[in-house]
Amino acid sequence: MRTKIIATLGPSSEDEEIVEKMIIEGVSCLRVNCAHGDPDVWMNRVKIVNRASSSIGKVVSVMFDIPGPQVRTGSFEEKIVEAGEKIRFVLGESSDKGEIPLPNRFFFNSVSLGDIILYGDGEATLRVVSVEPGIVECIAVVDSVLRPGKKVVIQGKELDLPYLSERDRLALDSAIENNVCFIALSYVRSSVDISIVRNYLSRRGCESNLLVKIETKSSVEKLREIIAESDGVIIARGDLGLFLPLEEIPVIQKRIVEEALVMNKPSIVATEVLESMIRNPRPSRSDVVDLYNLIYSMVDAILLTNETAVGKYPVETVKWARKIIEAAERSIPKTVVSEARSRIIEKTLLEKYVKGLVLLAESLNGVIVDYSLTGKVPSYMFRYRPQIPVYIGSRSRRVLEKYTITYGVEPVLIEEVVGENEYEKGVELLYETLKIKGFLKPGDIVIKAYAKTREGIHEIKIEEVY
């Protein structure tokens, strides 16, 4: 399986045995949604992942997803509403009077008579009929259920909120403390927001990779500058559908994947990937077709959210995701891969070397084996969407974790390599490790890569496994 699977931890999956099963079935990165819980909850989830991945002996990363400048409701009893029923939002953290509390003044200062409010991921639509200081009254457009702690979006409006809230800083500090590899940034509006976070982390000696969620109109309009400043992008289709017309989402999704590929950044698609499996042990036909088409778009990874966080069948969801991905990858036409590669322009010797390495390995139907100290070779490898197995070994877990979300690159931890000729020793040790684990079998053609970038030497060695 070349396309990676990222799963979200939550009440349905924060169990070590379940996490182990999901990793065995193909999950390579676990997401912690910091819009919910507290530092103790987040730390416990990181510990669960670390124990599970160590038990299995597989390199797995953790992603913290910070809330960003969004508006969420406070604490109240779940409320069932019918079309035409009046709903009242009030300024505050909680309410027991049948009202919906919103602890954010920016919302009340920005909303206007006639505005459409989208609740959660759009499961409720409300029309504003009255606005007073700290109070907004709405009419429900459709029957729906209003639950606490959900997003609230004013359709067509982006609130001018400061990027880092108190909760965002709390989440970032926890990410630093837990040494997580990835931090996902929500509701980014421009590269300035990314710089704010990067500077915050830099002052604290943190070099976590920043994945930017493309989910607002501003982020789509400033896509190239945002991708350039990021370490990867997440196409958050749920929120994109709140800020932009739903019928435009497929075109926007395709554009983001293509731009990320050209700019050598991983792309991840999230929201409703296998939504039907939240309550069912089998996916709907439309979910299968959607995931199949995602694989054909050459995305690096898919991100399961509610499916594994609160769904009834987290492990079964991962199993089905793997089954669909593998079926799609077996049937993907060469023309699709060639079209993706045709957008890439190689500028350096290393880039040309990596391209040649991939093309050579594919022509031999071989396996690429590479040892890396810095991660430079795999940083170019995934963009060519290799259609043969690629194994990257390193003694640095952090170098390897970076490639748990990228296409077609399988990281393997090699702890014993030390001393002179580390590249040569590392490749040989990785080669032997793969034979022991059964990933290399007699008759396989192995392409060993020795890209010694510090010395300006790029070598390739081809041999058959005996």
173 lies in the same domain as 312: yes
Both 32 and 94 in a single domain?
Answer: no
Domain count, the chain: 3
pLDDT at 419: 66
* Final residue before a domain boundary, out of 275, 302, 331: 331
Residue 73, domain member (yes or no): no
pLDDT, average across residues 443-447: 97
Domain that includes residue 93, residue range: 79-154
pTM of the model: 0.92
Assess whether 326 and 187 both reside in one domain. yes
Q: Choose one of 304, 331, 358: the last residue of a domain.
A: 331
| Phi-psi map region of 410: left, alpha, beta (phi>0 left; psi -120 to 50 alpha) | beta
Number of other CB atoms surrounding residue 350 within 10 Å: 17
Q: Are 362 and 439 contained in the same domain? A: yes
From 296, 331, 366, give the residue that closes a domain.
331
Q: What is the pLDDT of residues 315-361, one digit of tens each?
A: 999 999 999 999 999 999 999 999 999 999 999 999 999 999 999 99
Name the packing angle between helices 166-177 and 191-202 (round to 10°): 50
CA distances from 23 to 16, 28, 214 (A): 10, 6, 27
Same domain, 102 and 127: yes
Query: Would residue 146 count as lying in a domain?
Result: yes
Residues 215 and 276 in one domain: yes
Read off the CATH number of the domain in which 364 is found: 3.40.1380.20
Extract the tokens encoding 112. 């206007």
Q: Each residue of 134-160: pLDDT tens digit? A: 999 999 999 999 999 888 999 888 888
pLDDT tens-digit series, residues 300-311: 999 999 999 999
The verdict on 309 and 252 lying in the same domain is: yes
User: 27: buried, middle or exposed (CB in 10 Å: 19+, 13-18, 0-12)?
Assistant: buried
| Same domain, residue pair 274 and 252 | yes
pLDDT per residue as tens digits for the range 15-61: 999 999 999 999 999 999 999 999 999 999 999 999 999 999 999 99
Task: Answer yes or no: is pLDDT of 8 > 80.
Answer: yes
Please, which residues have CB within 8 angstroms of residue 56's CB and are 6 or more apart in sequence?
A: 20, 23, 24
DSSP 8-state class, residue 238: H
Quote the Cα angle for 269-272-277, to 5°.
Answer: 130
Q: Clarify whether residues 272 and 327 are in a common domain.
A: yes
Decide if pLDDT at 455 tops 80: no
Question: Among all chains, which residue has been given the structure tokens 């409300």?
Answer: 126
Judgement on whether residues 383 and 302 belong to the same structural domain of the protein = no
Do both 324 and 392 map to the same domain?
Answer: no
Look over the chain and give the mean of its residue pLDDT values, rounded to a whole number. 93
| One domain, residues 274 and 302 | yes
DSSP-based three-state secondary structure for 278: helix
Which long-range contacts does 38-47 make (Cβ < 8 Å, 24+ apart)?
Answer: 38/170, 39/170, 39/173, 39/174, 39/177, 42/171, 42/174, 42/178, 43/174, 43/177, 43/178, 44/14, 45/9, 45/14, 46/178, 46/180
Judge whether 304 and 273 are in contact, CB under 8 Å: yes
Tokens 């031999």 locate to 364
